[in-house]
Amino acid sequence: MLERRADGFYVEDVALDRIADDVGTPAWVYSSAAITSRLMRLQAAFAGFDHRICFSVKANSNLSILKLFRDAGAGFDIVSGGELERVLAVEAVPETIIFSGVGKRIDEVDFALKVGIGCFNVESAAELDRLAARAALLGRVAPVSLRINPDIDARTHPYISTGLKESKFGIPMSQALDIYRYASRNPALAIHGIDCHIGSQISDREPLLQAFDAMLQLRSELLEAGIPVRHLDLGGGLGIAYQNEPDFDVEGYGAAIARRLRGEDLQVFFEPGRFLVGNSGLLLTRVEYLKPGVTPADRSFAIVDAAMSELIRPALYSAFHEVVPLGPTDQNARVWDVVGPVCESADFLAKDRHLALAQDQLLAILSAGAYGSVQSSNYNTRPRAVEVLVSGTGFKTVRRRETLRELLANERECL
Ligand code: LLP
């Protein structure tokens, strides 16, 4: 999404130094054209079969971005009452909302039942009981899928791998049929589908297709048991390029699903997050100080005004984000660690990068549109950064920079 031109670095037709001058740093910058084109690419890849794309709100829950998705016809995958409030704020169609997550509270279940969401992805028998009881109490029928844990290795980082049997997520395949039978006897529940999500940042479609095959198999067993389902939910997980990895081949994935579906009257749901927004956002930051090493054995540090409190992915998952210095430098390239001001050794954004840097220079930390801002914190009493959405030759602030007054308000009133 970042383009180098003769007179600077651009996102769409907006120069990044213009944004930095206007809103300051650190700042999250998103491209609406990039987001929309990713969604269109997915829609085209899945055009061969009946499908629904539910953007996984946890990846980037900014209201203006949710509105982009809403306007482009996407549904939403939510995991909390808070995320439900967000998608309702952009007038999501209730039918297109699906509710995932292992720990849905009673108030969240009630909220979603009253809204009339499209489906609850249920993760345990206990949750099924709670859902049925609340639906009966409210005089509703809860639409459900069971999230199956197919015990498949998604071959990704252990913290974002969710489909192995040691994971807390989903219902083991061996118990699925019994729990479906149990659910089918309860008039407060309507069985809509089968759900699965085996992990995130998956680069290879094979594990996902294995999960799909497992769901197709279960769907046949359910049919034999007189329990038809109308959709299969493949979750999210499509990986993106952070460094030199190839982008997930969504076209090949779509074609493989279409082949498996031939003639079947089934809708397929997807819950992509990262694929839609990851490469469509960057974190704009400024170098505060340079601390070059003195001897060749020393490390050199570039201390910037963004930190792990903004982008925790490098600290948490050893994630790689490309760092691009924007504009004039002293040309004395050397190997730098790009670090933040937070008092933790884990506070780094990049390590061992060969860069030409200068004090006060702007840097873009790329591929930060997914699990960036949403995972940010106020650690070290750092106000949350501003978010900006670029569209053509213009940009607008889609979340103001938090103020210290706001940050302290909940405590000041308790003094
Ligand atoms: N559906 C469910 C049930 C999920 O748990 C997730 C992500 C998604 C969909 C969307 O997955 P995606 O398409 O974005 O891979 N914080 C981590 C990622 C955690 C993913 C959690 N679940 C990171 O920064 O890499």
Q: Ligand 1 atom closest to Cα of 202? A: 15
Answer yes or no: is pLDDT of 167 > 90: no
Q: Which pLDDT score is estimated for 154? A: 73
CB 16 within 8 A of CB 392: no
Residue 199 CA: nearest ligand 1 atom is 15
Alpha helices in 225-350 (DSSP H): 250-261, 274-277, 313-317
Give the catalytic positions in this structure: 343
Report how far ligand 1's centroid is from the alpha carbon of 271 (Å): 9
Distance from the alpha carbon of residue 196 to the mean position of ligand 1, in angstroms:
12
Query: Mean pLDDT, the chain, as a whole number?
Result: 95
Q: Which CATH architecture has domain 2-29+278-412?
A: Beta Barrel (2.40)
Burial 369-389 (b: 16+ CB within 10 A, else e): bbbbbebbeeeeebebbbbbb
Q: Cβ distance 267 to 98 under 8 Å?
A: no
The H or E element that residue 44 is part of is helix 32-45
**For ligand 1, is residue 170 a contact (CB within 6 Å)?**
no
- Report how far ligand 1's centroid is from the alpha carbon of 411 (Å): 32
How confident is the model at residue 150, as a pLDDT? 87
Lowest model confidence (mean pLDDT) among 56-60, 171-175, 366-370: 171-175
Spell out the domain ranges in the chain.
2-29+278-412, 32-276
Q: Which pLDDT score is estimated for 262?
A: 84
Given this model, what pLDDT does residue 160 score? Answer: 62
Q: For residues 76 and 373, what is the distance between their CA atoms, to the nearest angstrom?
A: 18
| 328, pLDDT greater than 90 | no
Mutual angle of helices 32-45 and 63-71, in 10-degree steps: 40
Q: Is the dihedral of CA 329, 332, 337, 341 positive or negative?
A: negative
Q: Ligand 1: distance of its center to the CA of 23 in Å?
A: 29
Q: Is the confidence at residue 159, as pLDDT, over 80?
A: no
Measured distance CA(270)–CA(236) in Å, rounded: 6
**Residue nearest atom 22 in ligand 1 by C-alpha distance:** 200
- Our answer on whether the CB atom of 309 is closer than 6 Å to any ligand 1 atom is no
pLDDT confidence of residue 261? 94
User: Is the Cβ–Cβ distance between 179 and 128 less than 8 Å?
Assistant: yes
The answer to whether residue 166 scores a pLDDT higher than 80 is: no
Confidence label for 161 from pLDDT (cuts 50, 70 and 90): low
Q: Enter the DSSP assignment of 308.
A: T
How much is the pLDDT for 60? 98
Pocket lining: 108 vs ligand 1, CB cutoff 6 Å = no
CA of 371 to the centre of ligand 1 (A): 8
Instruction: Give me the mean pLDDT over the 306-318 stretch.
Output: 97
Q: How remote is the C-alpha of 199 from its chain's centroid?
A: 12
Angle among Cα 409, 414, 415 to the nearest 5 degrees reads 100
Q: Assess whether the C-beta atom of 314 lies below 6 angstroms from ligand 1.
A: no
What is the pLDDT averaged over residues 137-165? 83
pLDDT at 349 over 90: yes
58 CA to centre of ligand 1 in angstroms:
7
Shortest-distance Cα residue to atom 16 of ligand 1: 371
CB neighbours of 33 closer than 8 A, spacing ≥ 6?
Answer: 12, 390, 391, 392
Ligand 1: atom nearest CA of 272 is: 13
Nearest CA to ligand 1 atom 5: 197
Here the tokens at position 1 are 């999404």
Residue located nearest, by CA, to atom 8 of ligand 1: 236
Q: Whose CA is nearest to atom 6 of ligand 1?
A: 236
Q: What is the pLDDT of residues 239-275, one digit of tens each?
A: 999 998 888 999 999 999 999 998 789 999 999 999 9
Shortest-distance atom of ligand 1 to CA 59: 14
Are 92 and 116 within 8 A, CB to CB? no
**Alpha-carbon gap, residue 26 to 9, rounded angstroms:** 16
Residue whose CA is at the smallest distance from ligand 1 atom 24 = 371
- Which fold does the domain 32-276 belong to in CATH? TIM Barrel (3.20.20)
Helices (H), 225-312: 250-261, 274-277
DSSP string, 55-68: EEGGG---HHHHHH
Q: Where are the beta strands (DSSP E) in 58-101?
A: 75-78, 97-99
Residue closest via CA to ligand 1's atom 9 equals: 236
- What share of the chain in percent tops pLDDT 90? 91
- The model's pTM is 0.96
Give the model's pLDDT for residue 330.
62
336 lines ligand 1 (CB under 6 A): no
- State in Å: Cα 279 to ligand 1 middle: 15
The model's confidence at residue 314, banded by pLDDT at 50, 70 and 90, is: very high
Predicted confidence (pLDDT) per residue in 105-125, tens digit: 999 999 999 999 999 999 999
Residue 391 token pair:
């569209």
How far, in Å, CA of 334 to CA of 293, rounded? Answer: 10
Give residue 196's pLDDT.
96
The reported pLDDT for the residue numbered 41 is: 97
| pLDDT of 164 above 70 | no
